[in-house]
Amino acid sequence: MTTPTQLPAWQQLETLAAAPQPHLRDRLASPSREQQMQASAAGIHIDYSRQALDSAVWDTLIELAQQAGVQAQRDAMFRGDIINTSEQRAVLHVALRGTPGATGSEAPWGDAVQQLVQTELSRVCAFAERVRAGEVKGSTGLAITDVVNIGIGGSDLGPRMAADALAPLCSDGATGVRVHFVSNPDAWALHSTLRGLNPATTLIIVASKTFTTQETMTNAASARRWLQDAGIEGAAQSPHLVAITAAPNKSGAAGYPAEHTFTFWDWVGGRYSLWSALGLPLAIAIGAPAFREFLAGGQAMDTHFRSAPLAQNLPVILALSGIWNRNFLHCPTQLLSTYPSRLVRFAPFVQQMDMESNGKRMRKDGQPVDADTGPIVWGGLGIDGQHAYFQLLHQGTHRVPVEFIGVETEDTPLPLAAEHHRVVNLNLRAQAQALALGRNEADTLQALMAEGMSAEQAEVFVSQRSFAGDVPSSTLWIDALTPHRLGTLIALYEHKVFVQAAIWGINAYDQWGVELGKTMAKAMEKQ
């Protein structure tokens, strides 16, 4: 297997990176640049004109993707080939989204998978609607008012993030059932959720692909004890329990009723499972039609990813600019900065997706990767970050590439919502520009003197008041934060991770690295 650094395009990129690099201030002075470095698809627009690269680098990055066989690897994933080689599994979360035939083409993964997916999706949607309609009753015949999803990692981050992002659609106490999420096994996390709830009207969802995760099982046992202490025990617990798992034999043995068990398959990675039955809490919160819209949004990005030329392909654009920053500009981290407050959990969600997928040092053929792989992905809400860690981006010693995410429209029913929206997006644009341009000492001197300092005073402070700039960033604009667009955005990041793994030659779909800690916890428990 050819290593990434053996590819001719990689070597050419190294030569290009070794040449003197113009400052982003000079790159952005070119009038055509901003127009050229833009791409749109499925309601998402990417402006990558503030990446520290020129057309020679860009063309070579595209060649790198071609030489690494990204397209062939992509087609293998959609076909259901065993691309998760260390676990001998296909990787088919893409089969979970969208309506069959909606793209006008046959499902590349085949009818058998399609049938499985559609059957389970219908069960999930029907159950979600019954809960929302008050038709699902607890053991005393009272309708369910609260749903508590117990899960961790991929069995928590996705539905929780999406429920926040789609909060305007979510039912609450006044409009229907409330959906709560508990992931941490610290007692307070569960207690603080359960203490306000009535056991007789609470549904406990235990979401775990393996149904063995210690943290989740601890919380599940404790929640069942809470039911028991309220007099709901034995068979009476069944109406209050739901299992979502790829191991229904395990959940069945633990007493979760078959009619309340929703399944997915080993070819759905935990961090890619939001599209599966794992999305049940989201479907309950936003309703089945909106959940199907969300799936269709994911499918819209799949269609784009499979058909758009590499140079206009949004996941490829994000992946290649990330490779340039990671491997050739040697930036170890990637900041994800979301400006709509409803995307508050998007960065932690992508953090798991990216770092658990591409945090690998060995290639699929068992040999070490001879280049750096997945960056440290971190971030959160941009505006809050501006008043916390952005100082380091502007004047610290790290060069931190940023992906800004903004929404073009605002529909919050608040009298001054348009003004809020203006302030939020103004800040996003200002940060991207300030990080790129910086402010040199000559301009700083002038600014200080304009503030009223003498030339002598200004000389004293000028270096501390200047900004190096040249911080690369891309800005993603979503036209509206709807279920469809959220699905599109998530699938965009999934495919970005895929493309980077394809270039590095690593398996993005196993996670052996998290096993050692689990094994040690078990060994220590025995001791």
- Return all residues near 469 (Cβ < 8 A) that are at least 6 apart: 23, 24, 25, 434, 435, 436, 437, 438, 439
CB of 160 to ligand F6P, least distance (A): 12
**Residues binding ligand F6P: number (CB under 6 A):** 14
CB of 516 to ligand F6P, least distance (A): 11
360 counts as catalytic: no
Please give the Cα distance from 441 to 466 (Å, whole number): 6
Query: Residue 354 or 356: which CB sits closer to ligand F6P?
Result: 356
Please give the Cα distance from 118 to 94 (Å, whole number): 13
* SS3 of 125-153: HHHHHHHHCCCCECCCCCECCEEEEECCH
Please give the Cα distance from 506 to 368 (Å, whole number): 9
Q: Enter the DSSP assignment of 43.
A: T
Please give the Cα distance from 34 to 522 (Å, whole number): 55
Query: Residue 396 or 513: which CB sits closer to ligand F6P?
Result: 513
CB of 151 to ligand F6P, least distance (A): 6
187, 418, 460, 514: which one binds ligand F6P (CB under 6 A): 514
State yes or no: residue 209 binds ligand F6P (CB under 6 A).
Answer: yes
Per-residue binder mask for ligand F6P (CB under 6 A), 264-293, x = binder: ------xx----------------------
51, 60, 145, 216: which one binds ligand F6P (CB under 6 A): 216
* SS3 of 237-248: HHHHEEEEECCH
Query: Residue 2 or 214: which CB sits closer to ligand F6P?
Result: 214
Q: Is 204 helix (H, G, I), strand (E, B) or coil?
A: strand
215 counts as catalytic: no
Residues 350-379 within binding reach of ligand F6P (CB under 6 A): 356
Choose the binding region for ligand F6P from 122-130, 205-213, 221-229, 399-407 (rule: CB under 6 A).
205-213
Query: Residue 208 or 325: which CB sits closer to ligand F6P?
Result: 208
CB of 387 to ligand F6P, least distance (A): 32
Cβ atoms of 32 and 86 closer than 8 Å: no
Residues 138-157 within binding reach of ligand F6P (CB under 6 A): 152-155
CB of 126 to ligand F6P, least distance (A): 23
Choose the binding region for ligand F6P from 57-65, 208-216, 292-300, 394-402 (rule: CB under 6 A).
208-216
Query: Residue 52 or 163: which CB sits closer to ligand F6P?
Result: 163
Please give the Cα distance from 405 to 347 (Å, whole number): 10
CB of 285 to ligand F6P, least distance (A): 19
Q: State phi, psi for 186 to the nearest 5 degrees.
A: -60, 135
Backbone region of residue 330 per phi and psi (left: phi > 0; alpha: psi in -120 to 50; beta: other values):
left
49, 149, 213, 482: which one binds ligand F6P (CB under 6 A): 213
Closest CA to 214 of 510, 525, 513, 512: 525
Choose the binding region for ligand F6P from 83-91, 203-211, 307-315, 394-402 (rule: CB under 6 A).
203-211
CB of 154 to ligand F6P, least distance (A): 3
Q: Which of 387, 456, 525, 526 is catalytic?
A: 387
Please give the Cα distance from 168 to 482 (Å, whole number): 10
Query: Residue 146 or 356: which CB sits closer to ligand F6P?
Result: 356
Q: At what angle do helices 55-67 and 314-323 cross, to 10 degrees?
A: 100
145, 193, 208, 219: which one binds ligand F6P (CB under 6 A): 208
Please give the Cα distance from 197 to 148 (Å, whole number): 10
CB of 413 to ligand F6P, least distance (A): 36
Q: Which of 191, 330, 398, 518 is catalytic?
A: 518
Please give the Cα distance from 468 to 399 (Å, whole number): 10
Query: Residue 426 or 514: which CB sits closer to ligand F6P?
Result: 514
Beta strands in 217-280 (DSSP E): 241-245, 261-263
Query: Residue 64 or 150: which CB sits closer to ligand F6P?
Result: 150
Query: Residue 22 or 359: which CB sits closer to ligand F6P?
Result: 359
Q: Which of 356, 364, 484, 494 is catalytic?
A: 356
Please give the Cα distance from 378 to 182 (Å, whole number): 22
304 counts as catalytic: no
CB of 209 to ligand F6P, least distance (A): 4
Sheet of 241-245, strands arranged across: 178-182, 146-150, 202-207, 241-245, 261-263
Write the single-letter amino acid at 117.
V
Contacts with ligand F6P, residue ranges (CB under 6 A)? 152-155, 208-210, 213, 216, 270-271, 356, 511, 514
Active site residues: 356, 387, 518
